[in-house]
Amino acid sequence: MALSEQERKLLEQLEASLMAEDPKFAQTLSGAGSIRVHRRRATLAGVGFVLGLLLLIGGVQIHPAVSIVGFVVMLASAIIGVNAWQRVSGEGQPSERPSDSPPPPKPTSQDFMEKLEERWRKRQEGGDL
């Protein structure tokens, strides 16, 4: 639901007063800190992936169990890194859709069959060649 111009101005005034009174709290609410945390998590996951790769390669010469640990570290780092990167880039967030317009209707198999039957009737009548 879109805000009116008056409501938007009032919201901006409230945000400005909050920023003036308690900037640390306002920054926490803005979400800038969480992006920094996820970016740091993605970076650490990249370092963990490289460390796991080194363990995997080094384990071939030392002991096979070290290679297995390296693979597990790589896998965990990849999962954590992809998850954190999606949160940083916003890909994991649901897309915002204006609430005014309803979502487009999804075609069903019944609609599909009705279209096929209509085409068949037209062909039989000689209207669509």
- Which one-letter DSSP state was computed for residue 31? T
Query: How far is the C-alpha of 20 from the C-alpha of 33, rounded, in Å?
Result: 18
Choice among 30-39, 42-51, 87-96, 105-114 with the minimum mean pLDDT: 87-96
* Residues 6 or more apart whose Cβ sits within 8 Å of residue 70: 52, 53, 54, 55, 56, 57, 58, 59
* Residues 6 or more apart whose Cβ sits within 8 Å of residue 69: 55, 59
* Residue ranges per structural domain of the chain: 49-88
Quote the crossing angle between the two packed helices 32-62 and 23-30, to the nearest 10°.
60
Confidence check: pLDDT of 77 > 90 = yes
* Residues 6 or more apart whose Cβ sits within 8 Å of residue 3: 11
Confidence category of residue 100, pLDDT binned at 50, 70, 90: low
Confidence check: pLDDT of 92 > 60 = no
CB 46 within 8 A of CB 77: yes
Greater model confidence, 62 or 95? 62
